Amino acid sequence: GENVEQHPSTLSVQEGDSAVIKCTYSDSASNYFPWYKQELGKRPQLIIDIRSNVGEKKDQRIAVTLNKTAKHFSLHITETQPEDSAVYFCAAADILTGGGNKLTFGTGTQLKVEL
Amino acid sequence: NAGVTQTPKFRILKIGQSMTLQCTQDMNHNYMYWYRQDPGMGLKLIYYSVGAGITDKGEVPNGYNVSRSTTEDFPLRLELAAPSQTSVYFCASRGSGGYNEQFFGPGTRLTVL
């Protein structure tokens, strides 16, 4: 089955700096890569996703890049703000032939934005 | 729409007890999922369903059972609770179509003592 590795496990940045979180996946059949944000005690919420036919996607201060050859994808947050502090999870799935579109999650990155 | 709702929010069980975690969605989603989240870890899939009457195992199904008699409800049953089942349980749902977002419920925090 799919295996997703995520790094780093913790990341501390100064407000206004950029943050980058990286994930690698093992199954070349995976074609959908969402990123979830989970604030303390809350449910995970989708912040951005990317499909395998796209190399990069942006939404205001966040962007995701995908390298299918190397099987890795990254989350980029620019101009970080205190409210960006949370745990971020990457995930991967084969949503074309996978049956059930099951997500495999990484272990999460605790992002702390310091004032 | 209430989205995905879960009950209870918190529960403490004794070893060997059983319980059912409830999950309901009002978005007419065909796909529903149960995950568990252990401290400092990602979410691991327990069971999932692609529609009423159809369920299948995920990555960590041992010690759990599910049923899906309606589109709205997807209860998770724990039989003979063990300390290893102490976790936060999230239910999620997704509409049809290849790229739809999974919407999560607020979670149930379960402790087995």
Testing the interface with B: which of A25, A103, A104, A109 to mutate, by most B Cβ within 10 A?
A103
Percent of chain A at pLDDT > 90 equals 88
Contacts of B62 (CB under 8 A, 6+ apart): none
Task: Decide if B60 contacts B43 (C-beta within 8 A).
Answer: no
Each residue's pLDDT tens digit, A49-82: 999 888 999 999 999 999 999 999 999 999 999 9
**Region of B7 on the Ramachandran plot (φ > 0 left; ψ -120 to 50 alpha; else beta):** beta
d(CA B49, CA B51): 6
* From B59, B90, B94, residue closest to A101, measured CB to CB: B94
The whole-number pLDDT of residue A95 equals 84
Residues of B in contact with A92 (CB under 8 A): none
> To the nearest whole angstrom, how far is the Cα of A109 from the nearest Cα of chain B?
9
* R_g of chain A computed on alpha carbons: 14
Alpha-carbon distance A6 to nearest alpha carbon in chain B (angstroms):
10
pLDDT in tens, B22-64: 999 999 999 999 999 998 788 999 999 999 999 999 999 999 9
